[in-house]
Amino acid sequence: MSQNENQSPVIVWFRQDLRLTDNPALSHAVAAAQSGAGVIFLYIFDEVSEGVRAMGAAQKWWLNHSLTSLRTDIEALGGKLVLRSGPAAEIIDGLMAETSASLICWNRRYGEGEQNADRKIKAKYGDTAKSFSGLLMHEPSQLRTGGGLPYKVYTPFWKKFSSGPAPRAPLPRIDAANCFSGDLPSEDLPSWQLLPSNPDWAGEISANWQPGEAGAAIQLAKFTQENINSYGTSRDLPGPDRTSRLSPHLRFGEVSPYQLWHASYPSSGANLDKSNQDSRETWRKELVWREFSYHLLQEWPHLDSQNFNPKFDPFPWQGQQDVLRAWQKGQTGYPIVDAGMRQLWRTGWMHNRVRMIVGSFLVKHLLIDWREGEKWFWDTLVDGDPAANPAQWQWVAGTGADAAPYFRIFNPILQAQKFDPDGAYIHKYVPELAQLPAKYLSAPWDAPRHELARAGVRLGETYPHPIVDHQQARTRALDALQSLNTAAETV
DNA sequence: TTTTGAGTTGTTCGA
DNA sequence: GTCGAACAACTCAAA
């Protein structure tokens, strides 16, 4: 090793992997920097590179706190988290020149703009830039159909995934490192203005979440100790909410999919019955759905803006702003829909079952373009994911890969009865119906007048009339889709 | 190449 | 109240 190399630092560039455990890029950097000038820990806030999708407001809130947590963990190692903002490729150029670094490491990411930036850097620095697999368990290029093509259907994807090599074991947490001691300028986190002010809407989000690797570990332990064995059935109930609630942690890489995959298996010696094992597999399948979404994004980079199935391009979406606004604010008059939209607005997250209900409602009952829903979720969800969010919206809309068939229109009344039978969820998020007995919560307009009066509910005043009639809206949606099929035939 | 079986999460209707 | 079939047709993936 030359004198120069020996005194050169190694940069580890954090992106969607804000963790010290099972972080291959970090592990490699730490090993490579053992005898040199040490590791530089870097995060770049980049909203300007072409094709990079700027984070929504709720994600920015999360990012602020996750970076704060990461910074604390890095300082415990004796290091410093360097914050820079601007176009990533230029920032890297600057820092490489500034520090004469001998190596830069990162874990791969999969958006088009993000990959273009990474490719540019790799092309320039060659072997001095090293990328690793940390965000996904299998690279998209490695999981293909027999014909070498990307999968478009989930079940064969799952079969291939689960019959292939098991995801590698997670790497140990980095608890010591030779950290770069030079003085590098770093921007102030508050200067990025990631947190809301005027008004500060994040109060209830803060109360619900603990961003950062430590918070993710707590959440994972809670889930694997309490709820994973019943996940198969209990995941559908938004009231008790026994889902893992790990999605925002996973989105920011505070925990890796490898860690979750391996955590889903019972400790050796544990003897689980069939339903418990099935529950664990159901949860693993959700992890693989995320993986599937990223593979789709890799192949179809405009997943958030273009119909995966172009047959839907001429679909007659309606664009009424007041209707969209009513949906966004949870004022549709359908309590299960409104509860979901208000949970999202207040807490930055929505239970998965309810996401399907509100998504189906926007697209099919209101005939509003799924892209409007996708954008709203992107802005308001703390787990807004560049792959999963558009993929799930396209799935719900019927435009996507392996999508729900057009005749599958969720009935918001039935769904409320089935999945919120005691009304716990609706009571929590639609307080103006708090006094109404559970049996009337799925369709308050059908409640006896004296029950409404006793509960202090005046429809049209304290709580809205339903914005559309379910049966009429259902027929209208089926007709619209029918017209699409007819149009396709006559072309 | 052709064939075959299958496809996350549902609803409605009629027996 | 319960249960099975219909709801369309098409595309995907593997044999």
Per-residue model confidence (pLDDT) at position A198: 84
The answer to whether residue A14 is domain-embedded is yes
Instruction: State the CB neighbour count (10 A cutoff) for residue A311.
Output: 14
Mean pLDDT, residues A475-489: 82
Indicate whether A254 and A333 sit together in one domain. Answer: no
Q: Kindly list the catalytic residues of A.
A: 286, 289, 317, 352, 370, 393
pLDDT at position A1 is 43
Query: A401: domain range?
Result: 310-490
State, as a whole number of angstroms, the distance between the CA of A161 and the C1' of C1.
42
Whether A364 and A426 map to the same domain: the answer is yes
Name the strand (E) or helix (H) holding A172: none
How far is the C-alpha of A63 from the C-alpha of A41, rounded, in Å? 16
Segment A44-59 shows an average pLDDT of 96
CB of A337 within 7 Å of some strand B atom: no
Is residue A175 included in any domain, yes or no? no
* Shortest CA to C1' contact from A481: nucleotide: C8
pLDDT at position A193 over 70: yes
What is the CATH classification number for the domain harbouring A408?
1.10.579.10
- In this model, does residue A2 exceed pLDDT 50? no
Give the distance, in angstroms, between residue A378 CA and nucleotide C1 C1': 43
- The predicted-structure confidence for A96-144, as pLDDT tens digits, reads as follows 999 999 999 999 999 999 999 999 999 999 999 999 999 999 999 999 9
The answer, as to whether pTM is greater than 0.85, is yes
Query: Residue A338: what pLDDT?
Result: 98
Q: Residue A233 phi/psi, 5° resolution?
A: -110, -40
Is the pLDDT at A6 greater than 90? The verdict is: no
pLDDT, tens digit, 9 for 90 and up, residues A255-286: 999 999 999 999 887 788 989 999 999 999 99
Tokens of A332: 């549709």
Same domain for A331 and A285: no
Q: Which of A12, A287, A26, A267 is nearest to A158 (CA)?
A: A287
Nucleotide closest in space to A157 (CA vs C1'): C13
**A140 and A129 in a common domain:** no
Q: Could you tell me if A33 and A104 are in contact, meaning their C-beta atoms sit under 8 angstroms apart?
A: no
> Does the CB of A173 sit below 7 A from strand B?
no
Buried b (16+ CB within 10 A) or exposed e, A331-352: bbbbbbbbbbbbbbbbbbbbbe
Mean pLDDT of chain A: 95
Give yes or no for residue A426 having a pLDDT over 50. yes
- pLDDT tens for A327-365 read 999 999 999 999 999 999 999 999 999 999 999 999 999
A405 touches strand C (CB under 7 A): yes
pLDDT given at position A4: 44
Q: Which H, E and C letters describe A192-218, residue by residue?
A: HCCCCCCCCCCHHHHHHCCCCHHHHHH
Checking if the pLDDT of A490 tops 60, the result is no
Strand C and A410 CB separated by under 7 Å: no
- Judge if A154 and A81 occupy the same domain: no
A224 against A405, higher pLDDT: A224
Q: Which of A107, A134, A161 is where one domain is finished? A: A134
Q: Do the beta carbons of residue A398 and residue A406 sit within 8 Å?
A: yes
- Please check whether residue A482 lies inside any domain of the structure: yes
Q: Is the residue at A196 inside a domain?
A: no
Q: Report the b/e string of A371-393 with b at 16+ CB within 10 A.
A: bbbbbbbbebbbbbbbbbbbbbb
For residues A178-188, average pLDDT: 97
The residue-averaged pLDDT of A202-218 equals 97
Å separating the CA of residue A202 from the C1' of nucleotide B14: 51
pLDDT tens digits, A289-336:
999 999 999 999 999 999 999 999 999 999 899 999 999 999 999 999
| A469, A396: one domain | yes
Name the domain boundary from A276, A299, A322.
A299
Point out the residue nearest to C10 (C-alpha to C1'): A405
Q: How many domains does chain A have?
A: 3
Nearest nucleotide, CA A396 to C1': B9
pLDDT at A5 exceeding the cut of 50:
no
pLDDT value at position A489? 59
Within a 10 A sphere around the Cβ of A282, how many other Cβ atoms?
A: 15
Note whether A300 and A112 are within 8 A (CB).
no
Same domain assignment for residues A317 and A439: yes
The answer, yes or no, to whether residue A477 has pLDDT greater than 80, is yes
- Give the burial class of A489: count Cβ atoms within 10 A of its Cβ; 0-12 exposed, 13-18 middle, 19 or more buried: exposed
pLDDT at A481: 87
- Across all strands, nucleotide nearest A153 (CA–C1'): C12
Residue A181 within any structural domain of the chain: no
> Stretch A236-247: mean pLDDT, rounded?
97
Residues A58 and A158 in one domain: no
Rounded mean pLDDT, A361-384: 97
Instruction: Return d(Cα A178, Cα A330) in angstroms, integer.
Output: 52
Domain boundary among A256, A278, A299: A299
Q: How far apart are CA A363 and CA A398, in angstroms?
A: 9
For residues A115 and A29, membership in a common domain is answered with: yes
DSSP state of A42: E
A172-196 mean pLDDT: 97
In a domain, A401, yes or no: yes
| Predicted confidence band of residue A402 (pLDDT cuts 50, 70, 90) | confident
Residue range A16-27: mean pLDDT, rounded = 98
pLDDT at A488: 64
Is A209's CB less than 7 Å from nucleic acid strand B?
no
Q: List own/partner pairs for A214-217 with CB under 8 A and 24 or more apart.
A: A214/A69, A215/A69, A215/A249, A215/A254, A216/A19, A216/A246, A216/A249, A216/A250, A216/A254, A216/A255, A217/A255
CA gap A210, A94 in Å, rounded: 34
- Rounded to whole angstroms, the Cα distance separating A366 from A362 reads 5
Using alpha carbons, select from A30, A19, A287 the residue that is nearest to residue A136: A287
A81 forms bridges with which residues in the sheet? A41
Nearest DNA or RNA nucleotide to A413 (CA to C1'): B11
Are residues A384 and A286 part of one domain? no
Answer whether any strand C atom is within 7 A of the Cβ of A406. Answer: yes
CATH number of A98's domain: 3.40.50.620
The DSSP secondary structure of A97-140, one letter per residue, reads HHHT-SEEEEE----HHHHHHHHHHHHHHGGGEEEE--S-SS-G
- Whole-number pLDDT of residue A403: 83
3-state secondary structure of A45: strand
Give the closest residue to B10 (Cα–C1′): A408
Instruction: Report whether pLDDT(A486) > 80.
Output: no
pLDDT at A87 exceeding the cut of 90: yes
Q: How far is the CA of A384 from the C1' of B5 (A)?
A: 36
